Amino acid sequence: MAPTLSNEILLKAAKEFSTPLYVYDEERIHFQYAKLIQAFQKSDVSIFYACKALSNINVLRIFRDLGAGIDCVSLNEVQFALKAGVDPSKIIFTPNSVSFDDYTEAVSIGVNINIDNLEILQQFGTVYGNTYPVVVRINPHILAGGNIKISTGHIDSKFGISIDQVGQILDIKKQTGLAIKGLHLHTGSEIKEVDVFLNGLNLLLELSNQFEELTVIDLGGGFKIPYKPDEKGVDIEQLGEKLFERLDQFQHSNNRKFQIWFEPGKFLVSEAGYFLTKANIIKENPTRHFIGVDSGFNHLIRPMFYDAYHIIDNISNARGPLKTYNVVGNICETDTFAWDRELPEVHAGDILMFKNAGAYGFEMSSRFNSRTRPAEVIVAKGEMKLIRRRETLDDLLQGQIL
């Protein structure tokens, strides 16, 4: 059974550290990672945690201790990973729309570099030739993922080099001597269908004939996890099985073997996270009952940003009679966490807990409305540890020239 944090410990955390508060369960992170390792054990698979989901150094250390690599989309994330003690050889730098300077810095650090446009590829080849093998991100023209805003592999997406432009990649390779050690794709987030990953694999296997020095196939992240009560996530075991079969078959017919890299974010941390808020006011309007909590989309933007659904529970009154509410935040704009949600009756002061808040929760938070960002706590072996203190007015003023 997947480990979860009890209402008791969550209430204790809210009491001790106040709200709004992000709480993470280390045991659940271990559990999710073990599930992947187990599912992919028959193939040569490496997992790189996509740390833009949740980048607190304490979380990155957990992944370092598990032996995972880290996928970074900015140089600052690379610095975080280094600070957490991750070896550069286990870091992938997968930026989009950054300048060539970022790539030169990444070279000086010695991380794996993933290039996603032809212009940089040309420049990189001209400067480094065959001295620094890179991974190239392909846009496979596959539409996948839970919402168009989190789809990254369709034909109109800004990510990757179109599969129709592989000829140009080969030209650059020939002309500059650039060494391409890997091909990558990441088609989106919340992908439920195993076949999307297999189609991606097949596509890159097909291309591999044209890249003789290729050793790595990177299939990105985006594993779907359940958000709604009756939802199912991607069937990781089935994916592991089918991946192995396909690679085995390819090895037999082509006499080539590849390392497979995955870069999951959400799958590893989403279900390990809980977001705790306090009900400030209950407003009974003629048509709607609102619960106004001590937070807003500045702290958890997913519902407003891409209509994400988070299970919410009233953990102060878990057995109370059900009533229907709109759960809203305190930001002075439309700020709705949930519409027409049945919750055990809520009174001012009750603690509302949001599930699935580990990924893209704190990480996408802001200081909009000049509110401070929440604290973060991690629970390991029953012990609570503060891993980011709550911000103060001074934090908001810091950096302003007064």
Q: Which of 212, 230, 332, 381 is catalytic?
A: 332
d(CA 179, CA 396): 46
The answer to whether 296 touches 371, Cβ cutoff 8 Å, is yes
Residue 402's alpha-carbon distances to 249, 369, 393, 394, in angstroms, are 66, 19, 14, 12
Given 43, 94, 314, 316, the residue binding ligand PLP (CB under 6 A)? 94
Residues in contact with ligand PLP, shown as a per-residue x/- string from 134 to 173 under the rule CB under 6 A: ----------------------------------------
Binding residues among 348-367 for ligand PLP as defined by CB under 6 A: 359
Identify whether 72 is a catalytic site residue.
no
Residues near 196 by Cβ (< 8 Å), separated by ≥ 6?
142, 144, 187
Minimum CB distance to ligand PLP smaller for 182 or for 264: 264
Question: 286: cis peptide before it, omega within 30°?
Answer: no
Q: Is 112 in the site for ligand PLP (CB under 6 A)?
A: no
CA atoms in the 13 A half-sphere facing the CB of 188: 24
**Stretch (H or E) spanning 123:** helix 118-128
Q: Is 71 in the site for ligand PLP (CB under 6 A)?
A: yes
Q: Is 302 in the site for ligand PLP (CB under 6 A)?
A: no
Given 73, 239, 279, 327, the residue binding ligand PLP (CB under 6 A)? 73
In whole angstroms, how close is the CB of 39 to ligand PLP at the nearest point? 15
The answer to whether 23 touches 298, Cβ cutoff 8 Å, is no
Concatenated DSSP letters for 29-68?
HHHHHHHHHHHTTTS-EEEEEEGGG---HHHHHHHHHHT-
Pairing of strands 112-115, 322-328: unpaired
Given 95, 125, 140, 222, the residue binding ligand PLP (CB under 6 A)? 222
Residues in contact with ligand PLP, shown as a per-residue x/- string from 178 to 217 under the rule CB under 6 A: --------x--x----------------------------
Name the residue whose CB lies closest to ligand PLP.
265
In whole angstroms, how close is the CB of 101 to ligand PLP at the nearest point? 20
Interface positions with ligand PLP (CB under 6 A): 50, 52-53, 71, 73, 94, 186, 189, 220-223, 263-267, 359
Annotated catalytic sites, by residue?
Answer: 332
